[in-house]
Structure formats: structure tokens, C-alpha cells
Amino acid sequence: MFARPFWLNRLQEVWQAVPIAWLAGVRRVGKSTLARSLAPDQTMFVECDQPEVEDTIKHPSLFFKGCNKPILIFDEVHQLKDPSRVLKIGADSFPHLKILATGSSTLAASRKFRDTLTGRKRVVHLPPVLCDELPAFGGVSLQQRLLHGGLPPALLAPSKPAAFYREWMDSFFARDIHRLFEFRDLNRFNALLEYLLRQSGGLLDVTKTASAVGISRPTVESHLQALQITQAVTLLRPFHSGGQKEITRMPRLYGFDTGFVSQARGWNPLRPDDCGLLWEHLVLEHLQAYLPDVHLHYWRDKTGREVDFVIVRNRDQVDAIECKWDSSEFDPAGMKAFRALYPKGNNYLVSPLTVPSYLKQAGKLEIKVCDPSGIAT
């Protein structure tokens, strides 16, 4: 079992504020493993997909009263008939308990979950293994993380496990997409998802996507909504002030895991240019993990100058982040154009450094060159 102390600490922070920590994430990301890594002598583990569990918790108050451990884990909680009722009784009547509910990323959209848990829970989104977690996973190389992705079974495989990605997609459709959204056409859904993974890191044109995949625009839009709810894709909106020279509407799309992106693109082995795009995905995952309450954006003008990520710190300060696999290939033109419009904020060039972070000058700009951990959180 591999330790993920950052996420264990995040759970403890949640329990200091509310009684229920809701651990969400895509399938096979390691939710159950993380839950089991909590101190065994302090936890009671309930596998909600077991048939006898419904009878065990038929009378929730009696069940909670009989719990003699300070932490109660409901694994795959969405398998219960009425999980909201069970969790609400636990939170309201047994406030001394720390409750952890795990399940796929579709939990928040499930009809089984209502507003009864408002103010009682906080969601922790568990991502694929982050770059700063690799030492805990047997020292897996950064290149292997980019190629295989961050789902532990794929990350730790001795070679890229092509069958794993196909099996995951089929299971994702059957157990999440079909069950929750009632989409019935597996082939059409997977064709769209694979197309989006091949376009990952680029701007999303819904009309062009519909034409390329051979499905209607409304179908693309409904499937995109499902993919965002389940965290299979992330859409970043452009940062702008409404200027005529800026991109103001078209979002940028990222697939949830570099292994699936590299698989969809047929990248094996990886070339330096491939690493650059996948590194950008990994930096995004880091930002989403360490800045969960911040809305991330990208910036681009109509001449093609761009900044990979923009963080809005406050009304007047916006941070600009450029990602480069090789920091020597950085072109400051995009950042200079951005700062001509938005002068206040920190500038970052994020690269997989093997040396401490440092400052460099690009014209009048001062830029911090660092790995993802050097970005202020």
C-alpha cells in the first residue's frame, strides 16, 4: 500500500470543519486504498456494495450507536438505497464520529443525494497520482507517469497496459455514464471521448467536434456535461476583459489523465514535444489539487499569443503560468502580451527542474522558474 499523506491531511482538515468528508474521484484512482490507509485501529470500514449491508444499517441510529471507532468509512456509499438519510443521521445525531464516504465522481449528480447534506459535508476530489507523490510510489520516473498516467494500476505496470485503458472506459460507461445519465450507445460515447482525448490541451469547438465524430451538436453538449460532472474532462474558460483582441468564449479542454491522452494519441514511446503537452496536463492537476477553490483560466489573443494558466488572486492581481518540459524553450511573447493588459501579478515558468527555483528577467518581466511546488498556494 502506497502512502498519500497530502490527501490524508486534507481529510483531517475537512473533519475539523464538518463531520462528513466526501472522497470523490474517477474509478481506479485509489479512493478505497486511501480510505484503508487510515489507522486501522481507529476505523470501521463498511463495504456498501455487499448485499448484507442494507440489513446492517436498516436502523441507522442503532448502527451508529454501535460504532466503537472514531472514524466510520462508507466505501462506495452510492450503492446504498438512501445514502443521504444514513449520512444525515450520522452527522446530526453522532457528531463525535468522523465519517468518510467514498464513491465515483458521479456522486454529486446522483438522484440519491439531496440537499439534506448541505453544511454537513465537504468534497475532496482525489486526482491521479501527482508529480510530487511519485517518490512514494517506488520512485516511478516522471516520464513513466506521463506515459502510463496516474491511476495506480497503470502507473505501476512494467509496460504501458493498453488493455487497462479500454477496460476502464467500458466500465466507466457501464457503471457511471449509463447508470446515471441513461446514455445507451457505448460506441458513440467512447468515440467522442477518444476524440476529445486526442484533442486534449487544445481549444474546444463543439460544432467541429460534432462533425468530426458524426453526432449532433446537442448530443455532444449533453455528453460533455456528463464528462465534466464525472471529472473525465476539464474545461478552462478564457480569461479576458471583453477586449476585441482576446479570445472570450472558446474553452480549452483537458482529459483527466495523461495515460489516457497518450493512449488515444498513440504516443509510445514519448517524444520531447509529447512530454511538453503531457507536462501541461500534470501541472493542471497540481493546481487543481492545491488550489481546489480557485477558478483556473487560460489566456489567448486572436494572434495566437497565449498563457497556459491564469490564477485570479484578487480583483487587481492575476498570476500567469507557462509550462515547459524544457525551460530553455520558453518564449516570453505570450506573457509579455498578457502583462501589457494585466500588469499586476506573479509570473511563473513551470518546468520539471532538478535544481532549486530561481528568478529570470524577460524584458521588464520578472519570472520565477520552478517546478509545480514553487507556485504560491
> Are residues 335 and 213 part of one domain?
yes
- Burial (Cβ within 10 Å: 0-12, 13-18, ≥19) of residue 163: exposed
Split at pLDDT 50, 70, 90, the class of 109 is low
> Are residues 108 and 153 part of one domain?
no
> Are residues 183 and 294 part of one domain?
yes
* Arithmetic mean of pLDDT, 13-36: 95
Last residue of a domain, one of 74, 93, 125: 125
Model pLDDT for residues 64-76, shown as the tens digit of each residue: 999 999 999 999 8
User: What CATH number has the domain bearing residue 19?
Assistant: 3.40.50.300
- Does residue 274 carry a pLDDT above 90? yes
> Are residues 189 and 302 part of one domain?
yes
> Are residues 144 and 116 part of one domain?
no
* Arithmetic mean of pLDDT, 224-236: 94
Distance CA 226, CA 176 (A): 10
Split at pLDDT 50, 70, 90, the class of 163 is very high
> Are residues 66 and 167 part of one domain?
no
Last residue of a domain, one of 125, 147, 182: 125
> Are residues 163 and 19 part of one domain?
no
- Does residue 106 carry a pLDDT above 70? no
> Are residues 147 and 81 part of one domain?
no
- Does residue 95 carry a pLDDT above 70? yes
Residue-number span of the structural domain to which 165 is assigned? 133-374
* Arithmetic mean of pLDDT, 245-274: 97
User: What CATH number has the domain bearing residue 141?
Assistant: 1.10.10.10
- Does residue 261 carry a pLDDT above 70? yes
Split at pLDDT 50, 70, 90, the class of 114 is low
> Are residues 141 and 77 part of one domain?
no
> Are residues 266 and 208 part of one domain?
yes
Listed residue (234, 262, 286) closest to 26, CA to CA: 234
Q: How many domains in the chain?
A: 2
> Are residues 272 and 170 part of one domain?
yes
> Are residues 148 and 47 part of one domain?
no
Last residue of a domain, one of 80, 106, 125: 125
- Does residue 99 carry a pLDDT above 70? yes
- 53-63 burial, b for 16+ CB within 10 Å, e for fewer? beeebeebeeb
The mean predicted confidence, pLDDT, of the chain is 94
